[in-house]
Amino acid sequence: MTRKQKRLAVIGGGISFIIAAVLLVMFAFSQSVAYFYMPADIAKSPVPPGTRIRLGGLVGEGSIVRGGGSTVQFAVTDATGDLVRVRYTGILPDLFREGQGVVTEGRFETGSDVFTADTVLAKHDEKYMPKEVADKLKEQGLWQHAGEPQ
């Protein structure tokens, strides 16, 4: 093998390695994407079971039901009146309560209309609502930030 052939082999191997690394990174990113939905979005076009999503809205009034252990069921709703029942096993954030903004992350199980969440995020003070939820509610003309004229 001549020097030129050796050099081409090293360059070809390096390019192959870089292409493989880029493909692995792209595959990893595609597996971790979780799209954001509101209950009205899910009512319009249901999400396939097993697809990881973020579900945001307001915790429905009177919907919190504590089960055995640390299992909690509640409804996430929006101003359209659509709601999605959510089941979560774990410790809820201290500021989680009815009528407040919430973002849950998880998936719908096959053959069930209950959203099984593995993460629940709640607002952190009176003026905060998760950005994704606030943007969707503002689009619908149903939410205004404190201090904005009504």
Q: What is the pLDDT of residue 149?
A: 45
Closest CA to 51 of 88, 102, 113, 106: 106
Per-residue pLDDT tens over the stretch 58-103 = 898 899 999 888 899 999 998 788 889 999 999 988 888 888 889 9
Q: Report, in this order, helix, strand and coil percent for the chain, each rounded to 5.
A: 30, 30, 45
The single residue listed with the structure tokens 């909690």 is: 72
Q: What is the pLDDT of residue 144?
A: 58
For residues 82 and 138, what is the distance between their CA atoms, to the nearest angstrom? 17
And the tokens for 99? Answer: 């009528």
Q: Which residue type is seen at 57?
A: G
